[in-house]
Chains A and B, each alone.
Chain A
Amino acid sequence: MTAPGASAEAIEHHYDVSNEFFRLWLDDNLVYSCALYDREDELGPAQLAKIDLHVGHARAAGAARVLDIGCGWGANLRRLTEHHGVASAIGLTLSRNQAAWIRERNWRGVGVRVESWADHRPSEPYDAIISVGAFEHFARHDASDEQKIAGYCAFFERCHRWLRPGGYLALQTIAYGNARRSDFSPFFASEVFPESDLPRLADIAAAVDLRFQIVSLRDDRAHYVRTMQQWRRALREHRGQAIAMVGERAYHRYDRMCAMFEIGFHVGTMSLLRLALRRIDEPVDRR
């Protein structure tokens, strides 16, 4: 099946600037998504706390096989195997740079594939699935509302098929808050979410219906305000190095991206959703 969301080229446009560039302003584990500040103040510990929250939501600790959809630079995979006793953690990414980075680390029990979820064909079921900061790219910006929901349904249907009975899916995604698609600046569509359109909470609720039970739901947009502030501060502190690596234009694109996200999460045009979803093992017929 053709993935209903952004293409590999679009994903690489955003994520393949250079690994070294992201090392300048992300935390040591290169986690490129909203952190969790329930008990932490610093970015690094707050990112680990976020991973641990999702591991808890997915009931993944001690599991034999866990899938991470949109694995980035592998922080979830590493944490699952090194800290949570997972035997095998498999990551999917569309970015070749990220996959190469993970392979070079040789983390025990960690595997990575340059593959869309739509093309993934696991040989065995998974005990748990985690997906953080990937769902934003699962619908194309030119899709109709019906096409968007159909794409999301296909994603949850796959996750349902791949999970063992009683398994959990932990999902984190940015979503539209108090805004319409047309309210967003063209900057987001062209520079931040190439080819992608954000979900609304109602789209997710519609797509999980009769597939997953929503066990918990948080909107942590204030946490993304803090994450963006910390990223932007670090990026600005390394301005000279960053420009030397990626050029003035890319530096300003990321600086502006952080500022625009900070505003969006602050005023509530965007939400940051974290969901724990339990597989419904015997869903009733849809009709």
Chain B
Amino acid sequence: MTRNPMLNDRDALERWLTELVASAVDLEPGAIDVEARLDRYGVDSAAAIGLTDELEQRLGLPLDPTLLYDYPTIRSLSGFLTRPR
């Protein structure tokens, strides 16, 4: 897997995560608050697994399906993903 350059740009990553989540739950990106818990938008375990799989492929990082439970907002998730590794 190739590491995605977005992992060095937290703002760009948050914009992309917002679009990804919005598309998964069929909402407009403008309706998603990066500080709100994702389960508020209907992200359940099945959706969390799909999103994590997509993040894994697109970002080139091995990720656990529990990721969105440990980092349940886009803000906390972007913070985790952009941490130096």
Contact = CB atoms under 8 A, between A and B. Distances in A.
B8 interface: no
A260 B46 contact: yes
Interface string B37-63: 000000011101100100000000000
A229 B67 CA distance: 13
A111 B10 CA distance: 60
A187 B44 CA distance: 12
A262 B44 CA distance: 14
B64 interface: yes
Contacts of B64: 229, 262
B23 interface: no
Contacts of B65: 259-260, 262-263
B16 interface: no
A21 to B, nearest CB: 21
Contacts of A181: none
Contacts of B44: 185
A162 to B, nearest CB: 39
A187 to B, nearest CB: 7
B66 interface: yes
A256 B46 CA distance: 8
Contacts of B69: 263, 266-267
Interface string A260-274: 101110110000000
B66 A185 contact: no
A266 B65 CA distance: 10
Interface string A204-228: 0000000000000000000001000
Nearest to A260: B45
7 contacts: A229-B64, A263-B45, A263-B48, A263-B49, A263-B66, A266-B66, A266-B69
Given A185-B44, A263-B45, A264-B45, 19 more contacts: A185-B46, A187-B46, A225-B66, A229-B64, A256-B46, A259-B52, A259-B65, A260-B45, A260-B46, A260-B49, A260-B65, A262-B64, A263-B48, A263-B49, A263-B65, A263-B69, A266-B66, A266-B69, A267-B69
Interface of A: 185, 187, 225, 229, 256, 259-260, 262-264, 266-267
Interface of B: 44-46, 48-49, 52, 64-66, 69
